[in-house]
Amino acid sequence: MTSSAAERRARVSAILDRLGVSGDNPGAWAGAPMATAGRRVASFDPTSGDELGAVLLADRGQYETVVERANEAFKSWRMVPAPKRGEIVRQMGEALRAHKDDLGALVTLEVGKILSEGLGEVQESIDMADFCVGLSRQLYGLSMHSERSRHRMYEQWHPLGPIGVITAFNFPNAVWAWNALVALASGDTVIWKPSLKAPLTAIATHKICQQVLDAHGHDGVFGLIIGDDAEVGEAMIHDHRLPLISATGSTRMGRHVNQAVAGRLGRCLLELGGNNAIIVEPTADLDLALRGILFGAVGTSGQRCTSTRRLLLHESIADAFTERLAAAYGQVRIGDPLEDGTLMGPLIDEGSRAQFVSAVRAAVEQGGEVLAGGSVVDSATVLEGSTGAFVQPTLIRAHKDMQICKEETFAPILYVMTYSELAEAVAIQNDVPQGLSSAIFTDSFRSVERFLSHEGSDCGIANVNIGTSGAEIGGAFGGEKETGGGREAGSDAWKAYMRRQTCTLNWSPELPLAQGVRFDL
């Protein structure tokens, strides 16, 4: 082991120690109904290939305990006045702030995104906490004018119950915050089932926030269940005690979850795969566009739901711009995501690397041409002794009918196509099953309005002179079509976590019926 590899290991173990997630089964701390005897699942650092720690999987019995506790806790939590719930969420935000550096580094360690993105992810959770403090005083209902004299009509919002939150590996902290903190402010309790690829981030996050709940004597408001899909995941989605399942992950998973939850007439909030495009017009600031495209397509190693996967260039600028882009791709620093200067870390695992290889092969078979990258990277050249799944950021000249361009490959592959009219570019952009994020780079006012109009982008997110990824929490986040239709985080996304009640109050001595109906004895 070189001294730098030794130093790295020492740094990693200090981070895990400070967050209380080192050693075997760190989830089994006092008071948490975590497994003590289940199947052991290790969490690996995708950069080095080292085992970071391991958890024992919860079984059906432990799942029952967590749900019962959440159900019981709901009875008292819903009666805590919303602004007081907001104050507790505020304190969680402070606790996350205090642990931001370590928690951000843990995100980097567990999923391989560069440190600045790991820290940014925790910042997103802190921002969510701040947002939810205000939200706790703004759970507004409308009031209406009744058609009947001396009647009052209004609607109010009640907490829904214990909420099931299923999260994807690639945002192991922030997706939880989008859901859990809004649910908490809304008066719900939460049961979190994280991805088995990032269990330590979930345990650390849960511990940090549980300490705040403990200080206020609220047991069972947050539940964490780390188990496999067949035993715990299936139990969750079929559980009629959970009125809402919020699931983030692949479209394949979402389709299955949706059917199971619909079968019991429960509610689903789905945040699924994307296949996001950027359109670049001849009037665009091309320097800006280049930076936006690079971050969107290469950032997080192409492992964001909002990663840019398709680039639509106007034919008049296509050749020169593609050349610049290919040159920029050649300069992307692939390396240890913990180190300053690294722009791209590894893919999450060998399975993802295999999908990268097969997508590049399929693209070439379907008529594509690799313009930059296209290969896997020998991990030993990145970090001594590493077995990580590193690949090159890849640019492929493609045409709109290639089937592979309509699929989401969770890797840094960007398909470049050309167009002649904006209407054609928008049609190509929309002609995929997914509908998450979209962007246009242009200085033309008309093109902007066309892109944002009813005949423009069909996605949940439409940006101008900004790339497809890196959304702020203030807006409602989510997408259409096979992305699932859910909306999370800011704006009025909180309504998904509450039930609406319409109330009509009669303060007259009469009993007039609506629509003039008479029913007198």
Give the interface with ligand NAD as residue ranges (CB under 6 A).
166-171, 175, 193, 195, 229, 233-234, 236-237, 248-250, 253, 256-257, 271-274, 305, 408, 410, 436, 483
Report the nearest approach of ligand NAD to the CB of residue 365 (Å): 23
Q: Given the DSSP bridges, would you call strands 437-441 and 461-464 parallel, antiparallel or unpaired? A: parallel
Cα separation of 404 and 399, whole Å?
10
Query: What sign results for the dihedral spanned by CA atoms 446, 452, 453, 456?
Result: positive
**Region for residue 424 given its phi and psi (left: phi exceeds 0; alpha: psi -120 to 50; beta: otherwise):** alpha
Report the nearest approach of ligand NAD to the CB of residue 111 (Å): 10
Cβ proximity to ligand NAD, 306 vs 447, nearer residue: 306
Report the nearest approach of ligand NAD to the CB of residue 122 (Å): 16
Cβ proximity to ligand NAD, 16 vs 459, nearer residue: 459
Cβ proximity to ligand NAD, 269 vs 372, nearer residue: 269
Could you confirm whether 268 is annotated as catalytic? no
Q: Given the DSSP bridges, would you call strands 244-248 and 476-477 parallel, antiparallel or unpaired? A: unpaired
Cβ proximity to ligand NAD, 160 vs 257, nearer residue: 257
The secondary structure of residue 509, as a DSSP letter, is: S
The secondary structure of residue 336, as a DSSP letter, is: -
Q: CA dist 53 to 17, 119, 186, 485, Å? A: 11, 21, 34, 36
The secondary structure of residue 119, as a DSSP letter, is: H
Half-sphere exposure of 317 (CA within 13 A, CB side): 21
Q: How many CB atoms lie within 10 A of CB 519?
A: 6
Report the nearest approach of ligand NAD to the CB of residue 307 (Å): 8
Catalytic residue among 117, 121, 124, 271: 271
Dmax over CA atoms of the chain, in Å, equals 94
Catalytic residue among 305, 408, 459, 488: 305
Cβ proximity to ligand NAD, 224 vs 236, nearer residue: 236
Could you confirm whether 510 is annotated as catalytic? no
Q: How many CB atoms lie within 10 A of CB 118?
A: 28
Cα separation of 142 and 192, whole Å?
32
Cβ proximity to ligand NAD, 33 vs 227, nearer residue: 227
Report the nearest approach of ligand NAD to the CB of residue 407 (Å): 10
CB 465 within 8 A of CB 304: no
Cα separation of 501 and 491, whole Å?
20
CB 403 within 8 A of CB 242: no
Cβ proximity to ligand NAD, 303 vs 392, nearer residue: 303
Per DSSP, the three-state class of 93 is: helix
The label of the residue with tokens 């509610």 reads 267
Report the nearest approach of ligand NAD to the CB of residue 258 (Å): 11
Cβ proximity to ligand NAD, 114 vs 166, nearer residue: 166
Report the nearest approach of ligand NAD to the CB of residue 14 (Å): 28
User: Which backbone phi and psi does 391 adopt, to 5 degrees?
Assistant: -135, 165
List, as one string, the DSSP characters of 410-469: SSSEEEEEEESSHHHHHHHHH-SSEESEEEEE-S-HHHHHHHHSTTS--SSEEEESS-SS
Report the nearest approach of ligand NAD to the CB of residue 302 (Å): 10
Query: What sign results for the dihedral spanned by CA atoms 190, 228, 258, 347?
Result: positive
Catalytic residue ranges: 271, 305
